[in-house]
Amino acid sequence: MIEDNKNYAFKSELGLNEKIVREISAQKQEPEWMLEIRLNALKYFVDSEMPKWGPDLSVLDPQNIFYYVKQTEKVERSWSDVPEDVKQTFEHLGLPQAEKQYLAGLGAQYESETVYHNLKKEWAEKGVIFLDTDSALKEFPEIFKEYFGTVVPYNDNKFAALNTAVWSGGSFIYVPPKVHVTVPLQAYFRINAERVGQFERTLIIADQDSIVTYVEGCTAPAYSTSALHSAVVEIIAKPSSRVRYYTIQNWSKNVFNLVTKRAVAYKNSVIEWIDGNLGSNVTMKYPAVVLKEEGAKAEVLSIAIASSHEQVQDTGAKMIHLASNTSSRVISKSISRNGGRSSYRGLIKVIKGAKHCKSFVQCDALIFDKKSRSDAYPTMNLADNTVNCAHEASVSKIDDDQLFYLTSRGIDANSARTMIVNGFVEPFVKELPMEFAVEINRLIELEMEGSVG
C-alpha cells in the first residue's frame, strides 16, 4: 500500500445533490451548456433505477462517496513542476522511466483532476490534441461540444448519467486527418483517497485516415470503504481511421468499477478494444462498438481474473451491426479462483438490411476451485438473412493431461500450472505493446500467486 499525505486543493462534501453538481461546474468555470447537461444527467441518475440484472450492487451507497476532489490548482506541463507527494506515488508506478522510453504523451490522473500532461512536440505540431478533458473543454469548446455525449448520451444508463453529472478529468484526444500517431498515448489513472469516486470522461476523435493508440492503466491502493469508479469513454472513428484502445484495470478490491465504453465506427474504420480486468470488487464493463457505416471492423479482446472471495468480473462486449459488410470479433478469456466469479455478458446485433455481416465470439474460461463460479450469457439477435455469426464458449479446469505431460517431463506442478495459465492468456498478452505486456504478465503472476497446490 502506498501512503502519502493528502493535500487537496478542493474536496466536495460527501454525497450527491444539485448543489454539488453546480459547485463542480463552477469550480471548473464551465460554460452554461455543460452545467445544463450535468443537471439533466443528475435528474436522470436520481430518477432511474439500479440495474436489475448482473452483480449485486446493493452495497453501493451513492450518498457515501466524495464526488469531486481536486489535487492541484493548475495543469502541469513538465515533470519538475508536479507536486512532490504526487510524484512519489507515481514513482511507485514506475511512470517517468516508462515515459522516457516509450511514450509520446502522458496524462496522469491523480484523484479527480489531471495534474500532469505532456505531449511530445512532434505530435503537437501535427495538430494532435492530447489534453485532460477539462482543459479540452476550455481550449477547444467547439470540437468538444460537437462530440460530447454523442456516443454515450447522459440517459444511456444510470451510471453513464452519474458520470455525466459529476465527470472530472479523463483524456481528450483529437487526431487530424491523415495523421498516424505511431507511439501510444498513455494516461494513468488511480484512486488515492478513501471514498473517492473517479468519474473520468474520455473522448477520442480520430479524423479521416488517421491512426491512434491510447493506453489507459489503473492502479489503486487498497482501502476498506467502498469506492466507486464510473467512467465513460466515447470513441469516434471517422472513415478509414484506426483506433486501438488499451486498458488494464487493477483497482483495489473494494472498488465498484461500473463503466460505459462505446465507440462509433464509420466507413472502413477499425476499432480495437483491448481490455484487462484484474482488480476491483465488482466490475461491470461491456465495451461496445456501433458499426455504423459500411466496411467497419471491430474487435474486442479481453481478459478477466476474479481471484478473491466475492470478487465479480462481469465483463463482455457489444457489437451492433447497422451497416452492410461490417465485421466483428470478440475474444474473451476469464479465470475464476478463490471464490471469485467471472461472467461474460455480450450482445451481437445485426439489424435487417445490414447485409453480409460477419461476427465471431469466443469465450474461454478457466475455473480453479469449487468456491468459484464462471458464467457466460451471450446473446445474438440476428435479423438479416445474409449474416454469418458464430459463438463458442467453454469452461474447464486446468487439463489433467496437460499437467501430467509437463510434470512427467520434470517440471514441478507449480511451474507447470503457471505455464498452462500463461498459455491460456497468451492470445491476449501478445496483442499488448511491450511495456504493457511486461506489466500484465507481472500482474497476472501476482494474481495467480498461491493459486497452486
Partner 1 sequence: MSTKSYAQKDFVQINIDKYSCSVIKLKDLIINKIRQEFDVMHLVVKIVLEKNISVEIIDDLIDFEGLLKLSSVEHEIEFDLHENSKLFYTCKLKPQLSLEYNQAILQELGDSSSKLTKRLIFNLTGSNAHAKIRIRSLAISSQIFKFQTLQNHLHSDTFSCLCLKNVLFDSAKVECNNSIKVNKDACKSFANQVNRNLIIGENAHVISSPQLEIENEDVKCKHGAVTKVIDEEQFFYLQNRGIDAVSAKQLLVKGFLS
Q: Which residues bind partner 1 (CB under 8 A)?
A: 352, 365, 367-370, 372-397
Residue with smaller CB distance to partner 1, 185 or 389: 389
Count CA atoms closer than 13 A to 131's CA, side-chain side. Answer: 18
Shortest distance, CB of residue 394 to partner 1, whole angstroms? Answer: 4
Strands 69-70 and 10-11: antiparallel
Q: Nearest to residue 68, comparing CAs of 178, 162, 206? A: 162
Residue with smaller CB distance to partner 1, 267 or 371: 371
C-alpha cell at 28: 471548473
C-alpha 196: how far from its chain's center? 18
C-alpha cell at 46: 436520481
Residue with smaller CB distance to partner 1, 121 or 352: 352
Shortest distance, CB of residue 391 to partner 1, whole angstroms? Answer: 4
Contact 357, 350 (CB under 8 A): yes
- Taking CA 82 as the corner, what is the angle to CA 81 and CA 85, rounded to the nearest 5 degrees? 140
Q: Given 3-state DSSP classes, what are the helix, strand and coil percentages for the chain, each rounded to the nearest 5? A: 25, 35, 35
Residue with smaller CB distance to partner 1, 387 or 411: 387
Shortest distance, CB of residue 437 to partner 1, whole angstroms? Answer: 28
Shortest distance, CB of residue 257 to partner 1, whole angstroms? Answer: 22
Shortest distance, CB of residue 26 to partner 1, whole angstroms? Answer: 47
Residue with smaller CB distance to partner 1, 143 or 380: 380
- 145 phi/psi in degrees, rounded to 5: -65, -35
Shortest distance, CB of residue 90 to partner 1, whole angstroms? Answer: 39
The residue written with cell numbers 479540452 in the block is 136
Residue with smaller CB distance to partner 1, 195 or 371: 371
Strands 113-119 and 105-110: antiparallel
